[in-house]
Amino acid sequence: MINRANVPFVFSDMCEFEDQGGGVKRKILAYGDALMQVEVHFEEGSIGAMHSHPHSQLTNVLEGEFEFTINGEKKIVKKGDTLYKTPGVPHGCVCLKKGILLDTFSPYREDFLK
């Protein structure tokens, strides 16, 4: 993986997808100490397993439709919708229509770089 930490311009074609299994793949975009953006592609029916982490997270739905659960509350979201997940709050999703999410984390996800 190319180190894109603190790089002012990050082009999509310089970012490789990482297969997460189960119809989910992601590519890490730009990041620095305080922020990271990750593009996540889902096939219809794929699942983003329930999890939590110590990072703040914003998720913008770029394409598709998802059923998200955040802290026990379920909602259907679609293109243009944004979700906010506070640190430590359990969250996950099911992809209802093939889609793409743009996740922004603060601070950056060091575990994604290993």
Q: How many domains does the chain have?
A: 1
Is the confidence at residue 2, as pLDDT, over 70? Answer: no
Has residue 69 been placed in a domain?
yes
Percentage of the chain beyond pLDDT 90 is 89
Structural domain including 103 reads 24-109
Average of per-residue pLDDT across 35-64 = 98
Has residue 67 been placed in a domain?
yes
Average per-residue pLDDT in the chain?
95
pLDDT of residue 1: 60
- Cα dihedral 66, 77, 82, 106, rounded to 10, equals -30
